[in-house]
Amino acid sequence: MLLDFVVRYTEHVAEFVDVLSTIGINANCCEYTEAVVNFCIGAFGETPFLLDRKNELATLMAQAYIAHRVIEEVNEHFSQQCNEPLIPMDMTRSNLIIHQLIGEPLANQLDLIAQGVAEQLERDYLRLDSGIFDQNASREIAWGIEVTHWPCLTDTLAVDLLLGQGGNDLDCIH
């Protein structure tokens, strides 16, 4: 069950990349969404210096984690400026599970990288006064249509966890 969850979590990156590309076209903010897409794709193409390639499952989880965290951070920045999310999804629970599995030190470092990437993308692309970003973009995104076309937006990857029972803690995968 846990391996199935990790596979679905990783596959969601590709699905979200597809959604971001479509939303960018529909909302006239392709430069912004393509920058996010490129980062997410790049997360799988290069092994960050923080990762150890000895355990490929842990590496894959960390790569998917940083992509999801960047999307989450970008979503937060977009919501602050437009009062609507760029991509209507909530991966908080799934991200917390992967955070635990890859281990606190690495996950915290990846969180900092994700925050920095989102801040840089905001500075570069999400300035409402720059002319790069259409101020009406959030109204151009038809959430009802997008959700019916992209079921991954409503899939929270929920996993029933029995935390704190039996005294067994989740070990980190290294």
Phi, psi of 112, deg, nearest 5: -65, -40
Q: Which range, of 25-39, 58-72, 109-123, 157-171, averages the lowest pLDDT? A: 157-171
pLDDT 10s digits, 121-168: 888 876 655 554 555 554 455 444 455 554 554 455 544 443 333 434
Q: Decide which of 35 and 131 is more confident.
A: 35
The pLDDT-based confidence of 70 (bands split at 50, 70, 90) is very high
Do 107 and 63 contact (CB within 8 A), yes or no?
no
**Residue with more model confidence, 133 or 30:** 30
The pLDDT assigned to 24 comes to 82
Say which residue, 174 or 6, is predicted with more confidence.
6
Q: What is the DSSP letter of 7?
A: H
Of the candidates 78, 65, 60, the one whose C-alpha atom is nearest the C-alpha of residue 111 is 65
Residue 145, pLDDT score: 47
Spatial separation of the C-alpha atoms in residues 26 and 84, rounded to whole Å: 15
At 173 the pLDDT is 46
Q: Where would I find the H helices in 46-103? A: 56-82, 92-102
Give start and end residues of each alpha helix (H) in 83-161: 92-102, 104-125, 137-140, 143-149
164 φ, ψ to 5°? 75, 10
Q: What is the pLDDT of residues 87-126, one digit of tens each?
A: 878 888 999 999 999 999 999 999 999 999 999 988 887 6
Q: Using an 8 Å Cβ cutoff, are 152 and 16 in contact?
A: yes
Alpha-carbon distance 20 to 15, whole Å?
Answer: 9
What span, in angstroms and rounded, lies between the C-alpha atoms of 8 and 151? 13
Query: What's the pLDDT at 157?
Result: 53
| Domain limits, the chain | 2-153
At 161 the pLDDT is: 40
Is 13 strand, coil or helix?
helix
Q: What are phi and psi of 17, to 5 degrees?
A: -60, -45
What average pLDDT does the structure give for the chain?
75
Q: What are the backbone dihedrals phi and psi of residue 25, each rounded to the nearest 5 degrees, phi first? A: -65, -50
Question: Which band of pLDDT confidence, cut at 50, 70 and 90, is reported for residue 13?
Answer: very high
